[in-house]
Structure 1
Amino acid sequence: MRLRCAVLDDFQSVATTVVDWSPVTDDVDVVTFPEHCGSEDELVAVLADFDIAVTLRERVPFPATVFARLPRLKLLVASGMRNSVIDFAAAERHGVTVCGTASSSVPPVEMTWALLLGLARGIVAESTALRSGGPWQSTLGADLHGRRLGLLGLGKIGGRVAQIGLAFGMDVVAWSQNLTKERADEVGTGLAASKEELLETSDFVSVHLALSDRTRGLLGAAELGLMRPTGYLINTSRAAIVDQDALLAALRDGTIAGAGVDVFDIEPLPADHPMRTAPRLLATPHLGYVTRDNYRTYYGHAVEDIQAFLAGSPVRRLG
């Protein structure tokens, strides 16, 4: 019997065109799903007749209850080498091999700067006005040169964001709970004495931390209240690092000048979600990793993972 592979959340319908799947199609039927499974019941119904599933990033949770309801599933491929929504122990108990792929840190860096620059220069508002016959120039741009960029996190992504900020002539400082002076010196940034100091002194604050028990809710109402009223917040990391209700309140009240957000507490966002209509917000639908080259890596490695699994020697195993 031929195996069946489901490719989930292929929103752009490109999964089978950005790479060549022929190395596995002699043995595997590949079916793509452009619609998101919004509930566990939907996911189980979609995957009931599949042996293999390919999922993008952390769009779809795979808790123990899902594995228990999918006895046919034998291989789960997730893009990236870290995933917080897969129960790896449950996968092992139910005989499901979980494999990952490489993932580039370059696209989220570029997305961060797209949001920051879009906010600073009112790009969306000005473009909309120009195309609709609105006013000729209605915003006053925020300068970057000489202003302070505060980075929460200075890892692989944060470090690259810092280097671009320095190239713009910004004063770049960073803070995280484990950040050392040696790392800050290596990148060429200042080291903020505390999270509070960074928030109080920065014109732009950008989040580049992994989500954990320590970082969940790291920025709440009190922290956002420390930011300058002319300050901007950018989050391309994880929504839960910033208290979403507090952020909405800060945007509505004008506590901060604006925010650029690429991650949300629910994805895709429901049509009536308040983030869709919040003022002072430049929002994008989690595009940080969505580039042609990154998709070539994700799906190219997914094909390799399937090949290796079929050969009895799985690669890039997660868990």
Structure 2
Amino acid sequence: MAKIIIADNPLNEISIARELLPPSLDTVIARHGSPEFKDALADAVCLVGFGDGTMDDAFYASAPRLKLIQLLSAGYDRCDIGAARRAGVPICNNGGANSTAVSEHAILLMLAVCRRIVWQHSNVAAGRWRGNNVDDVKLYELKGRTLGIVGLGTIGKKTARLARAFGMTVQYYDTARLSEAQADDLDVRFALFEELLRTSDVVSLHVPLSRETKHMIGAAQFAMMKPTAYLINTCRGPVVDEPAMIEALTSGTIAGAGLDVFDQEPPPPNNPLFALPNVVLTAHFAGPTWENQYTRFRNAFDNCQRVVRGEKPLWIIPELRD
């Protein structure tokens, strides 16, 4: 039997992993870096878990039989891609397992900031039925607004479909262009990056974190956006220059933001975002839902079985596809 390691993590429901586990896989469940984990590496063929910064050249040297790093997440920015390349071990993400959850969460944040849900809840809970100043109440619909999606991968496409159901016009920017037929089928249109920033009422980010995307939204980009525009970020915090975003939110350069991710996670207790009335914040929780616990373990075990059979795995990250 082929041995695989499932790196235990508070975000994993291990009972679901045990329920779906194929009998052909000999599995060790252990916390990353624990003695049990290190002992199992010598014979492990696959590692299932999240990216970890300790997975360097020494890590791969300690796992000579390893043939697959199977992530349970879509993001892979914590992985040492160079070390994996030198070891000849593919890294695969979760095959879109959390794409429904994240796209729904992006729409949730759009609605929350446009309809000021947190403000409304706080007022009602404090006994202020409509707030202290009705002149202050400005709530907006999504229908008829233009959504600009930056990064039209699996999550971006599902966000586009949901937005169209709300009556939004959708444009996108991505280095990988859709064909005209694909764009027509999804009912979206391509826009240049700066054009998208200037003309969108809501900008939603769906790119992986890389050297190219780090701080791709900074002071200059905020200055291009409409003062009535909202920023939604459910991908990775460092894609946005956080101090520049705080300044843009404070000065009225943009109207507000819905954020599931931060530059530092967890954010420090004195993060200025906590005090801003025009933001809605969640704790990097767009992805983990009960439903996709099943989907991501099912995808992971399918890929493990493919590798054990000598086949090429699915969902290899772009940097290692060659």
TM-score normalised according to structure 1 size: 0.76
Alignment of 1:152-231 (within 5 A): 152-179=150-177, 182=180, 183-192=182-191, 194-231=192-229
Q: Deviations over 1:188-220 (max 9, x none)?
A: 23443x333322222211122344443332211
Q: Compared with structure 1, are the counterparts of its residues 295 and 252 closer, same or farther at alpha carbon in structure 2 (3 Å cutoff)?
A: same
8 Å CA contact retained: 1:24, 1:307: no
Question: Could you tell me which residue of structure 2 aligns to residue 248 of structure 1?
Answer: 246
SS of corresponding position for 1:173 = strand
CA distance in 2, matches of 1:83, 1:236: 14
Matched, 1:48 2:38: yes
Question: Could you tell me which residue of structure 1 aligns to residue 121 of structure 2?
Answer: 127
Q: Cα offset for 1:4?
A: 8.2
Matched, 1:117 2:115: no
Q: Compared with structure 1, are the counterparts of its residues 314 and 61 closer, same or farther at alpha carbon in structure 2 (3 Å cutoff)?
A: farther
Q: Cα offset for 1:21?
A: 5.5
CA RMSD of aligned residues (A): 3.6
CA distance in 2, matches of 1:93, 1:181: 35
Instruction: Name the amino acid aligned to 2:244.
Output: A
Q: Percent identity over the alignment? A: 31
Q: Compared with structure 1, are the counterparts of its residues 18 and 63 closer, same or farther at alpha carbon in structure 2 (3 Å cutoff)?
A: closer
SS of corresponding position for 2:280 = strand
Q: Cα offset for 1:20?
A: 1.0
Q: Compared with structure 1, are the counterparts of its residues 213 and 315 closer, same or farther at alpha carbon in structure 2 (3 Å cutoff)?
A: same
Residue 53 of structure 2: which of 61, 66, 80 is its match?
61
Q: Cα offset for 1:83?
A: 3.0
Question: Could you tell me which residue of structure 2 aligns to residue 16 of structure 1?
Answer: 15
Residue 300 of structure 1: which of 298, 301, 313 is its match?
298
Q: Cα offset for 1:259?
A: 0.7
Matched, 1:272 2:265: no
Instruction: Name the amino acid aligned to 1:274.
Output: N
CA distance in 2, matches of 1:225, 1:46: 52
Question: Could you tell me which residue of structure 2 aligns to residue 102 of structure 1?
Answer: 95
SS of corresponding position for 1:128 = helix
Structure 1, unaligned stretches of length 5 or more?
Answer: 38-42
Q: Compared with structure 1, are the counterparts of its residues 47 and 133 closer, same or farther at alpha carbon in structure 2 (3 Å cutoff)?
A: same
Question: Could you tell me which residue of structure 2 aligns to residue 40 of structure 1?
Answer: none
- Aligned pair count reads 303
8 Å CA contact retained: 1:47, 1:70: no
Q: Which moved more, 1:247-256 or 1:46-55?
A: 46-55
Instruction: Name the amino acid aligned to 1:86.
Output: C
8 Å CA contact retained: 2:306, 2:313: no
Q: Compared with structure 1, are the counterparts of its residues 4 and 118 closer, same or farther at alpha carbon in structure 2 (3 Å cutoff)?
A: same
Structure 2, unaligned stretches of length 5 or more?
Answer: 132-136
TM-score normalised according to structure 2 size: 0.76
Q: Which moved more, 1:94-103 or 1:120-129?
A: 94-103
CA distance in 2, matches of 1:278, 1:218: 25
Question: Could you tell me which residue of structure 2 aligns to residue 87 of structure 1?
Answer: 80
Q: Cα offset for 1:18?
A: 5.8
Q: Compared with structure 1, are the counterparts of its residues 200 and 101 closer, same or farther at alpha carbon in structure 2 (3 Å cutoff)?
A: closer
Structure 1 runs (4+) deviating above 6 angstroms are: none
Q: Compared with structure 1, are the counterparts of its residues 259 and 198 closer, same or farther at alpha carbon in structure 2 (3 Å cutoff)?
A: same
Question: Could you tell me which residue of structure 2 aligns to residue 30 of structure 1?
Answer: 29
Q: Compared with structure 1, are the counterparts of its residues 211 and 119 closer, same or farther at alpha carbon in structure 2 (3 Å cutoff)?
A: same
8 Å CA contact retained: 2:16, 2:293: no
Q: Deviations over 1:12-54 (max 9, x none)?
A: x6232365156459944424x5xxx8xxxxx477843443543
Q: Compared with structure 1, are the counterparts of its residues 66 and 295 closer, same or farther at alpha carbon in structure 2 (3 Å cutoff)?
A: farther
CA distance in 1, matches of 2:303, 2:117: 41
Q: Deviations over 1:137-183 (max 9, x none)?
A: 23431122222222223343323322332322223333334546725
CA distance in 1, matches of 2:172, 2:65: 44
Instruction: Name the amino acid aligned to 1:106.
Output: T
Q: Compared with structure 1, are the counterparts of its residues 117 and 137 closer, same or farther at alpha carbon in structure 2 (3 Å cutoff)?
A: same
Q: Compared with structure 1, are the counterparts of its residues 6 and 106 closer, same or farther at alpha carbon in structure 2 (3 Å cutoff)?
A: closer
8 Å CA contact retained: 2:246, 2:273: no
8 Å CA contact retained: 1:63, 1:85: no
8 Å CA contact retained: 1:119, 1:258: yes
SS of corresponding position for 1:48 = helix
8 Å CA contact retained: 2:5, 2:29: yes
Q: Which moved more, 1:117-126 or 1:68-77?
A: 68-77
Instruction: Name the amino acid aligned to 2:249.
Output: L
